[in-house]
Structure formats: structure tokens, C-alpha cells
A and B are shown apart, each in its own frame.
Chain A
Amino acid sequence: RKEVEQDPGPFNVPEGATVAFNCTYSNSASQSFFWYRQDCRKEPKLLMSVYSSGNEDGRFTAQLNRASQYISLLIRDSKLSDSATYLCVVNIFLTGNQFYFGTGTSLTVIP
């Protein structure tokens, strides 16, 4: 069973649309949660951490549901520059500070 699972997409949305991605994790000992963004053939870059109370950064909102073991990312007012792959990442400190990455969800924002 994979530690982190994401819908690979692709999601093709028009500019200005709202899009949401979900991610589930299997280990209830998971402690920290993140969304990373990866552009084609580039390195991943941290988009935002995900806190239990939910958090917002501009057009991006992240939510964590520990009971159901899922994480979500909402992007409002999509821009062309949001086109990328979004990676869900989980940290399990009990196993030695290991990070587990989902396979990513591909987003293309269309003019």
C-alpha cells in the first residue's frame, strides 16, 4: 500500500477557475504535511505547509483532515502560471524523519 496517494489528473481548467486536489495518506503516525509544486523537468519547490486548522496563502488554501487521513489543496482564480504538477508530501518522524511523496497531480490552466 502506498504511503501517499494522489489522483494524477490531468486537470485542465480555464483561467480564473477554482480547482481542488485531494491526497490521502495511509500512516496515522504521519506528523507533518506539505504541498510542493514541480514544473516540468525542474526540482520540487515548497508551496505550503498544511496545518490542522487549515491555512491560506493568497489564492491557495490547504486543509488537513486527520480523522479521514486526507489533505486538500484549493487554488482559486487560476493563473496560467499555476500550470505544474502538485506533489503531496507527508513526514513520518517516528521512522526517522522520512518524507513520502505522492506521484503528483498535473494541472494545466488554459487561456
Chain B
Amino acid sequence: NAGVTQTPKFRILKIGQSMTLQCAQDMNHNYMYWYRQDPGMGLKLIYYSVGAGITDKGEVPNGYNVSRSTTEDFPLRLELAAPSQTSVYFCASGASYEQYFGPGTRLTVT
């Protein structure tokens, strides 16, 4: 049972580039989430989804987009990367209130 998987593990982007962070879960969870964690800070919710075809903004959605075409996948798209998007990105899924996190993607924008 893989749980929540994220790819890539690490990435360096130049300012203005775009990329997609992949997230997949095999637990048939309806809820999926994207967070970012800056050094010494708590996790901030970027976007979340309550099921396939449904997404909603979290606390810090600017500069990001998501889609949820299947229950399993919840990719996060960064358009026009900026240094302020340097962070660790965690994807999570859950059936109700509990959340199971992936191992994270460390992104540096220079």
C-alpha cells in the first residue's frame, strides 16, 4: 500500500518557469489537500478538493492552480514561478478529518 506519493522529491526552477507537482493516493480518499511549509512556519493550505471534479481555494492560493479529474490524482500547477514560492510542498488525503501526508517536494525558485 503506497499511501500518498509525490513527485518530484526535489526541483530547482528559474524565475518565470512553470511546473506541475504530482500527487497520487491509493486509499480511495475523497479529500485531498495541498500545503506549503516555509522554514519555521506552520503548514498553509493552498488548495483542497472534496472529490473528483471539485476544488476550492485555501489560505494561500495565489500563483497556483489545481485540478482533480480522478479520485486518485491531485496535481498542483505553478505558473510563472517566483522566489516567494520556494518552499516544501506537501500533499495529503483523507476520508474525513484525518489527513495522510506524502513525503513532500522541496522546491527552490532562483
User: Quick one: given A96-B56, A97-B50, A98-B58, are A44 and B45 in contact (CB under 8 Å)?
Assistant: no
Most central of B41, B101, B102, B104 by chain A CB within 10 Å: B101
Chain A, 30-65, contact with B by CB distance < 8 Å: what is the 0/1 string? 001010000000111110010000000000000000
A-B contacts, 13 listed (Cβ < 8 Å): A43-B102, A43-B103, A44-B90, A46-B98, A46-B99, A49-B98, A91-B97, A96-B48, A97-B31, A98-B48, A98-B58, A100-B45, A103-B41
Q: Pick the 5 closest A-B CB pairs, nearest first.
A: A43-B101, A101-B42, A101-B43, A103-B42, A32-B97
Q: Chain A at the B interface: mostly helix, strand, loop or mixed?
A: strand
Range of interface residues on A (Cβ < 8 Å): 20 to 34
Contact A87 B42 (CB under 8 A): yes
